[in-house]
Amino acid sequence: MVRTPRCEKAGLKKGPWAPEEDQILISYIQKNGHGNWRALPKQAGLLRCGKSCRLRWMNYLSPDIKRGNFTKEEEDNIIHLHEILGNRWSAIAAKLPGRTDNEIKNIWHTHLKKRLKNYQPPQRSKRHSKRINQINSFVHAPSSSQISSSETSVVTSDSKATIDDQIIVKLEEAESSKYFTEINESFWTRELATDNNFNFVATMDGEEFQSLDMFNRSTTIMEDDMDFLFNFFIKAEDFSELPEL
């Protein structure tokens, strides 16, 4: 037995929205908000199902939506975030104010996937690359630390340098952990500077974590990396096992 979709109830419209319908929806939501999407169309006098109304509002009519073409910076961000998050369009959209998951999904399938065929990761300093390699060796060395425990998470946004199955597994672990949502630029509470480099320190539940990604002061950190300061992180006690450069 196949359940008939609610939207196919007799009399409910499907397909593209007419300008008059848009206006009715906008006026109604501006006046009453959208407490209950299912009840909304009836109350607003629309011959649409609630799901269709919600989608139209969220993806097109909401004043929060930024219309127009994606900038190069936005496209780069999408590519970067897609490497971390995969096809989790809503999670990617959350990082791009004014853009919807649907829009991002479309731009990915129509533009960015093709662009990626020729995509080259931004060049980092040699010192930075060396550090990344050290981190990988450390992370992958089975006996070097307790880093593989589910509590200790290693997260990277710089997956161009480190992407492999093991890191992805760790990313997924981290994603479900209590820490993941905290790991943005405000996650780091302290800057740890040595010579011309610096990394970041955060304290969570009495435990100290350090960013494993060491930035060179002379690189374009403000442009390239500031939005993605949730690079690597690791318990400080494990960090001490890392060899110095």
Partner DNA sequence: AACGAACGCAACCGCATGAGA
Partner DNA sequence: CTCTCATGCGGTTGCGTTCGT
Which positions touch DNA (CB under 7 A)?
Answer: 5, 7-8, 13-17, 35-39, 48, 50-52, 54-56, 58-60, 87-91, 101-103, 105-107, 109-111
Token duo for residue 146: 């307790």
CB of 245 to DNA, least distance (A): 38
The CA-to-CA distance between both ends of the chain, in Å, stands at 66
Which is nearest to 224 in space by CA: 172, 171, 161, 145? 161
CB-nearer residue toward DNA: 48 or 170: 48
CB-nearer residue toward DNA: 52 or 156: 52
CB of 52 to DNA, least distance (A): 4
Cβ-based neighbour number of residue 220 at 10 Å:
11
Query: What gap in Å lies between CA 189 and CA 8, rounded to an integer?
Result: 53
CB of 128 to DNA, least distance (A): 31
Query: What gap in Å lies between CA 90 and CA 93, rounded to an integer?
Result: 5
CB-nearer residue toward DNA: 13 or 127: 13
CB of 202 to DNA, least distance (A): 25
Interior angle at CA 182, CA 181 and CA 185, nearest 5 = 120
CB-nearer residue toward DNA: 105 or 140: 105
